[in-house]
Amino acid sequence: MFKYLKQLTSLVAMVAVLFTFTTESMAAKKSKTLKNTQKKGFVRCGVSQGLPGFSNADAAGNWTGIDVDVCRAVAAAVLGDANKVKFTPLSAKERFTALTSGEIDILSRNTTWTLSRDADIGLTFVGVNFYDGQGFMVRKSSGITSTSQFKNGISACTNIGTTTELNMRDFFNSKGIKYEPVAFEKADEVVAAYDAGRCDTYTTDKSGLAAQRTKMSNPDEHIVLPETVSKEPLGPVVRQGDSVWEDIVRWSLNTMIEAEEYGITSANADMMKTSDNPAIKRLVGAEGEMGAAFGLDNEWNLRIIKQVGNYGESYKRNIADTGILPDRGPNELWTKGGILYVPPSR
């Protein structure tokens, strides 16, 4: 009898320990995510399964892209080294679950900021690193030069689980066109099917179209139609409930954009410490206590600029120089006719 009693007690004790462990970890500490990240020594970042310009791995497994640079900026700020990032490639379908379940800490995967995503599913969008819009790609030989030439019966290839699927319906419905949606789970399969002639048009965000076009067997045979049928502000996402971590990611991105505004680059960041402009000095950690509120040191933003570069450098390196979208369009600074405008670091 006592034997079993002992077993029972140890079992109960074990369960009790498990419970206290969870309840304790639930208690709002300063930032659980920041603490865990510093303990692990790397930032856990969810990216796409390969979208040139945004997040794409080369043959050696090195990730590049403007979405990748957001995670690298956070790593530079938090860990002091922009390379201390563990990238997890995710499909559109998996991405939010991976974030809410705690498998990754930042989702930087050309994700559209919408009301329902922000409000419903335990996510918080921290900003916009690319202003995009949905468009259509067709074969040049089809002679189609505008979406107004679309006719009943057109088949459209796209990804499942994206805002694209919803916008497509809104678009075709508003035009009164009957269409055949062919939705794949992975972008590579969408491209393969469209390339083979399964679909008359391929629809996704215009930056995505431009990037995927480079993967087609003959990119020159395809054109992206001029119309933009939706607003797609893409940006990094974090889990709800850790406002410090949220702020770190938000201000890492803001730092990159503001650095471009003030002309601070990875090359001249150190020299800017002696600038006469206090706004510049704050951005390179030479004035004020800009890191204390996050639990970081004062040079967190300097490290971002030195190791990753400002937004303009990141854009040029990843999107302009690779020939995806040489023209920055709306993704130009507000001072140069674009809509990139971030709150001041002060």
Partner 1 sequence: MNFKLKDIGPQLLTVIAVVLVFGFFTYNAQVNMENRGIDFGYGFLSQESSFDVQFSLIEYDGSHSYFRAYLVGLLNTILVSVIGIVIATILGVIVGIARLSPNYLINKFAAFYVEFFRNIPLLLQIFFWYFAALRALPLPQDAEAMFGIAFLTIKGLYVPAFIWQNFNIFFYSIVAAIIAIIVIRYQAKKLQETQGKQTPVLLISIGLILVLPLISFLIGGVRLSFEVPVLKQLATTSFIYEGGVSLPPELIALALSLSLYTATFIAECVRAGIQGIGKGQKEAAASIGLTPNQVLKLVVMPQALRIIIPPTTNQYLNLTKNSSLAAAIAYPDLVLVFAGTALMQTGKAIEIVSITMFTYLSLSITISLFMNWYNNKIAIQEK
Nearer to partner 1, 33 or 301 (CB): 33
What's the distance, Cα to Cα, between the start and end of the chain in Å?
69
Nearer to partner 1, 12 or 267 (CB): 12
Q: Considering the rule CB under 8 A, would residue 337 count as an interface residue with partner 1?
A: no
- Which of 240, 265, 266, 345 lies at the binding interface for partner 1 (CB under 8 A)? 240
- Which of 60, 141, 218, 220 lies at the binding interface for partner 1 (CB under 8 A)? 141
Q: Considering the rule CB under 8 A, would residue 216 count as an interface residue with partner 1?
A: no
Nearer to partner 1, 44 or 306 (CB): 44
Q: Which of 184, 238, 253 is nearest to 212 (CA)?
A: 184
The residue range among 79-87, 92-100, 127-135, 325-333 that interacts with partner 1, by the rule CB under 8 A, is 92-100
- Which of 54, 96, 245, 294 lies at the binding interface for partner 1 (CB under 8 A)? 96
**Tokens 């020159």 identify what position?**
220
Structure tokens at 313: 């450098």
- Which of 117, 273, 281, 317 lies at the binding interface for partner 1 (CB under 8 A)? 117
Angle at 247 between CA 243 and CA 252, to 5 degrees: 155
Nearer to partner 1, 193 or 279 (CB): 193
DSSP-assigned beta bridge partners for residue 87: 45
| Least distance to partner 1, CB of residue 268, Å | 41
Exposure string of 211-238, with b = 16+ CB inside 10 Å and e = fewer, is bbbeebeeeeebbbbeebbbebbbbbbb
Structure tokens at 326: 């040489």
- Which of 103, 180, 270, 321 lies at the binding interface for partner 1 (CB under 8 A)? 180
CA pair distance 29, 33, nearest whole angstrom: 10
State phi, psi for 12 to the nearest 5 degrees.
-60, -40
DSSP-assigned beta bridge partners for residue 86: 44
Q: Amino acid identity of 45?
A: C
Residues near partner 1 (CB under 8 A): 1, 4, 7-8, 11, 15, 18-19, 22-23, 26, 92-93, 96-97, 100, 116-117, 120-122, 138-139, 141-144, 149-151, 153-155, 157, 160-162, 165-166, 168-169, 173, 179-186, 189, 192-193, 196-198, 200, 239-241
